[in-house]
Amino acid sequence: TDELLDRHRAVMPAWMPVYYGGDALEIVSGSGRRVTDASGKTYLDFFGGVLTTMIGYDIPEIREAVQEQLRTGVAHTSTLYLIRRQIELAEKIARVSGIPDARVFFTNSGSEANEAALLFATNVRRSNQILAIKNSYHGRTFATMAITGHRSWSASSLSPVQVSWLPSGERLRGRMAGLTDADHIEAAVSELRETLATVTAGDVAALIAEPIQGVGGFVHAPDGLLGALKKELDEHGILLIADEVQTGWGRTGDHFWGYQAHDVTPDLITFAKGIGNGFALGGVVGRADVMNAVPAISFSTFGGNPVSCAAGNAVLDYVLDHDLQENARRVGAILLDGLRELAATSPIVAEVRGRGLMIGVEFTRPGTGEPDVAATLRVFDECRAGGLLVGKGGLHNNVLRMGPPLTLTEAEAREGLEILTAAVRTAQA
């Protein structure tokens, strides 16, 4: 691994993130919710390769669906020909979208999905003005970097869109500690009104929002917030884009989509990450009038290709047939309860938050409440030593993020909890 890390550093750009510093991990195989590294050590995986492993590793139904497509000899473009697996998957996604008469456009990634949604919205609205939320993460293309609301994640200001910012749930919560959800929603709506009246110039095309901020540290606003904002947006004809790249497919337990906690139907929904269980696949589902309005030719050579869509169909069927949303709710609740118990006795765990199998644990310094990056890192490293992989993130890099495969069992949740509890105890000692 040392040698591989040296080779990585010699050939990749310096900013490429690699977890575990000089002790970087090479994952060589996986099965179920576990992965094995090059030294033969096995880990329970609570991060699922940044939420890309929706179902788990080496799942027979998915392996066979992909192999069946490969056996046809056809692994090529996603356009110009009739692609049965793409059409089937689009039908299923349109059906679950909650949008009447929806259209689906496939991409290779979340960034491209958001880029496409911005294209649809700006085109139909004849405006390049976008509203976005602070601390958001929407991707790595120029337009999606521009709407990514944190400098360390966005990296460019050379933007083709004009952006106005609304405060994130976290900001509002901090400012309004002790107030109710209804107060919070009212404040957010008045921020939106003020922004529309004073900050934006002319017509705005769309508001884009993650129902739960992912990279931002799994921060969620009160239920109903997006619905309240949408009422205001509708008065101006402004579209709502829900970025469900992390929150879709039942991950949050209570609903198939994150937006469903908000009493709203978005005009466009973007998705990616785990929907191909590791195969590159993303897309947009949305209103036919908005998506049809884009002039030809607008296509993606590989977005929705036959191999990725073979995986995508198998994943969505698996999620629905096994009711993984309910599993996420049930097993996620066990994790959340266990972590909240831990938080009650730990001086460094400031907050445990999340929904279903999308859970964040925030660490602060006892007494001062300052973000404790060092403690976060200690817990992170101790988890790895104990055989558990988790993610890191958050506005101040002081949040551990968990997004395990949705097939996580109760026994695995308890096993992970034990490792996490021991890691926190060691880190705070």
Cα–Cα distances in angstroms (integers) from residue 427 to residues 342, 363, 396, 400, 405, in the given order? 13, 11, 18, 13, 26
Angle between helices 225-236 and 181-194 in degrees, nearest 10: 20
Question: Which pair of structure tokens corresponds to residue 79?
Answer: 């356009």
Determine if 214 is a binding residue for ligand PMP (CB under 6 A). Answer: yes
Size of the site for ligand PMP (CB under 6 A): 15
In the block, which residue shows the tokens 């405060």?
Answer: 167
Decide whether 132 or 307 has the Cβ nearer to ligand PMP: 132
CA torsion sign, 416 to 257 to 283 to 166?
negative
Determine if 243 is a binding residue for ligand PMP (CB under 6 A). Answer: yes
CB of 152 to ligand PMP, least distance (A): 13
Determine if 311 is a binding residue for ligand PMP (CB under 6 A). Answer: no
206 φ, ψ (degrees, to nearest 5) = -160, 155
Determine if 138 is a binding residue for ligand PMP (CB under 6 A). Answer: yes
In the block, which residue shows the tokens 């991409």?
Answer: 107
CB of 137 to ligand PMP, least distance (A): 5
Judged by CB under 6 A, the residue of 103, 140, 220, 287 near ligand PMP is: 140
Judged by CB under 6 A, the residue of 69, 78, 97, 111 near ligand PMP is: 111
Determine if 246 is a binding residue for ligand PMP (CB under 6 A). Answer: yes
Determine if 215 is a binding residue for ligand PMP (CB under 6 A). Answer: yes
Cα–Cα distances in angstroms (integers) from residue 9 to residues 39, 49, 170, 216, 377, in the given order? 20, 20, 35, 27, 21
CA pair distance 166, 179, nearest whole angstrom:
19
Strand bridging mode 349-355 / 358-363: antiparallel
CB of 215 to ligand PMP, least distance (A): 5
Decide whether 209 or 228 has the Cβ nearer to ligand PMP: 209
CA pair distance 81, 137, nearest whole angstrom:
34
Helix locations, 126-269, DSSP H: 142-146, 151-154, 169-175, 181-194, 225-236
Determine if 248 is a binding residue for ligand PMP (CB under 6 A). Answer: no
CA torsion sign, 413 to 414 to 419 to 423?
positive
Determine if 346 is a binding residue for ligand PMP (CB under 6 A). Answer: no
Judged by CB under 6 A, the residue of 25, 272, 314, 328 near ligand PMP is: 272
Determine if 114 is a binding residue for ligand PMP (CB under 6 A). Answer: yes
Stretch that binds ligand PMP, among 20-28, 133-141, 284-292, 368-376 (CB under 6 A): 133-141
CB of 135 to ligand PMP, least distance (A): 11
Determine if 147 is a binding residue for ligand PMP (CB under 6 A). Answer: no
Q: Interface with ligand PMP by CB under 6 A: which residues? A: 109-111, 114, 137-140, 210, 214-215, 243, 245-246, 272
